[in-house]
Structure 1
Amino acid sequence: MNAESLDTNTITALVTDAVAAPSLHNAQPWVFRYVRDTGVIRLYADPERALPHTDPENRGLLMGCGAALFNLRVAAAAAGLTPRVLLLPDPASAELLAEVHLSGTGPSDDTLAPLAPSIRRRHSSRLPFRDEGIPAATRERLSEAARLEGGELFFPDPWHVRSILDRIRDAEESEALDPGVHEETVRWTRTKPSAVTAAADGIPGEAFGPRQRGTSVPMRDFAVGRPVPGRDSKAFEKNPNIALLGTARDEPVDWVRAGQALERVLLRATADGLVASITSQPLEWQDIRWAVRDPVSAMANVQMVIRLGYGPEGATSPRRPVTEVLDFV
């Protein structure tokens, strides 16, 4: 298959897989454009879906777009195409994040296509996991997944995990005092199920998960004090498996790369029978973010906190129709 033979249905299918990616508050801050003459898919950030109080530098926005970009690469490889990616190709256009050249020739990444079945299976699980460790071989596969995308995955020791949980509580206290952050959380989360709200974005009530009882795992409480019909409380794992995803540098291109690394890790975890939830909550405050990293680790900039384990899969979050995020020129 070559670029000239790619029709509307093929491109639509690729982008449908791309937008299954996670994003901050499920805001889905991406736009795709297929240029017929060149066979190139362009990925743009959608500034209308930014969260200026929660994510003032757009770090989370670019990570979400990076995750969608990685899904696009996986879907393309599974379709027999070779995706060649240029990141931030136009310095004059900050919203143009990537150009993906698709062809049926050239060297291919054989590690991409096997991850395709995990795209639709991957859901954030904010449910209790089993108190069970992750085998060393599985951890190494996850770490290798991050390295393949220019990132680093670090599994902190129990002392560091407790420190991270403390930093999350610090972040929650800071959020409670910031009306702008509170308003954004309320805007992008719904206390009722998606079947009732019919919303195509944001986080529905069934995806909040239960309230934590007597334990603490690194998850944002999207209810922020609001009643959620039918929501109960449960005991979560006492010893959560936490991983930190980071990068050497901390520029916009690194955030896009970090998003790709994050999604590769999550798809690899899904393929290995793990479930996961992610949070950037303690990383959204500059006076807290620095304290999350391990001072003896070589990781310079933590980009995401990942909770991994064995347990029930999470609820499916809604997605916008692909016709809203894809156009053809």
Structure 2
Amino acid sequence: MNINLPNFNMKNLVKEAGSTISRVVQLTEEKLGTTERTEYDIHFQNLAERADLTKSWTEKLVRDTETVLIPNPQNRVEDYIFEKIEKSKPKRISNLEHLALDMIEAGGDFGQDMPYGQALIKVGQAEQKLGQCEHDFIATSGICFTQPLRKFLDGEMKTISKERGLLETKRLDLDACKNRLKKARSMLGQQAAERDLRVAQAEFDRQSEITKLLLDGISTSQASHLRHLHAFIQTQVRYYKQCGDVMDQLQRELAKMQPGKPRLRINSEDVDGPPSIISAQSCDSIPNDTALALDSDYGYDYDQQHDRDQDNEAGYQSIDIGPVKALTHLLEDFEIEFDTSAITTV
């Protein structure tokens, strides 16, 4: 019975096994410090160090950017798997969109004609727009920034790593040939060692030039990465502008729906509370500490130097508007009952 065995060259197999053993012996002796090794030139070492830094930092930048765009690690792993099997990523509803749907549904149950229900629907619709802006931002950022950088890592950097590994193999073969030449005792052995050394030196030089060319190409890649970075920043600027436009529009719509504030009476004059604009004549009859608070909190414009002199005469100190006072005014503007006694500042 005839058995078809795979075709292979036994001579090449033995030769390759011998080369592998020779490399292992050479590497072991180098680790033990019992033999010399061929060192790469300074230029090559600088290129190799820059390549290592580029690879390390690019991996971190891609990872950090994807963390910002998709905070959920499970979703990132899922997206990575779908990319590897070349299938479209699943459509997910973001937290903003979940909030939007609940607000719209709650507003409908509370009554679309009721102020609170109507406001909830308006806010929910705005949150939906923000969610869509977020989806667009994530997709565009991936196309213009993270995907090109990941492609660089999976393509060019892997090729460089492969060629550097091959160069190290050629370097071990070269040094092994040098050691065999030193140990050759017969004339015939020396001639064979010299012949192997010339072949190993030529292969090493050729692989060294190939690797240098690839390492030099990192400068061109970084110039391309710079363009991708500019594109990412433009995408971010557009995203935040879109979000700002949505919120400005929402604020205007809510302002139209908000009922008018009650009118306050200060020194026989009607003003819309809170008293953001008060005439100078009215301030004359307000105690200095109250006038200072109005000036600091609401930007009242009158002679600051005159008030400063009055403060010095009365022994008052300037008022520092901290987070507690800012929160107090915000709550007062919307007529919300509050107790700030438990609020502390850091």
Tell me the TM-score range normalised by the shorter chain.
Answer: under 0.3
Higher radius of gyration, 1 or 2 = 2
Greater fraction of residues in strand: 1
Greater fraction of residues in helix: 2
| TM-score normalized by the length of structure 2 | 0.19
| TM-score normalized by the length of structure 1 | 0.20
